[in-house]
Amino acid sequence: MTPLRTATGLALAAVLVSIAPSAAQAAAGPADTTAAKTTQWGPTYSPGRKAKALGSLTASDEDHEDIPAAGTVRISGRLHDLTRKGTACGWAVFRVTYRTPDGNLPFRHRSVSTCSYGTSKPFAFAYHDVYEVELKVCAEPKAAKPSLTCLYAGTWKVLYVSS
């Protein structure tokens, strides 16, 4: 009986050794976060080429849970007003879709404007738990915020989607 017990003990030890690394990995948590990745975007023009925006986007700490999202997205760039009228401005409108703790995907707009013909305006901002970033460039009369036409007519250019 002693050789049978020894063989059983060795088999049990082999099974435990093969299971231990996967158990340790499971206890450590998910390892599917990725390093920061930077992408250049633009130039993107408004209809009629009266405004132009270009820049870069850096996404870091992506996780790939049920709804993937980047931990932090940093967007920076420059907006150029190419309108010759003093009453018109260039707008860059970003639609940032983010993940909430309950799993919803609402969005918010972030707008940048400049009314100085021939000059550019730098901008930079960051958001957390970002699922998607889209951009629309418009040229419109001076206003406190972009018009509904700018926000809802036409198509958005996708700059980033978490995958």
**Extended beta strands in the chain, E state:** 37-45, 51-63, 69-81, 88-98, 107-114, 120-141, 157-161
pLDDT recorded at residue 163: 84
Spatial separation of the C-alpha atoms in residues 132 and 156, rounded to whole Å: 12
Report the C-alpha gap between 120 and 114 in whole angstroms: 7
pLDDT at 24: 40
Closest CA to 55 of 89, 107, 92: 92
For 64-74, give one letter per residue: b (16+ CB within 10 A) or e. eeeeebbbebb
pLDDT attached to residue 19: 45
| DSSP 8-class letter at 51 | E
The pLDDT assigned to 103 comes to 86
Segments of the chain scoring below 70 in pLDDT: 1-34
What is the pTM for the complete model shown? 0.77
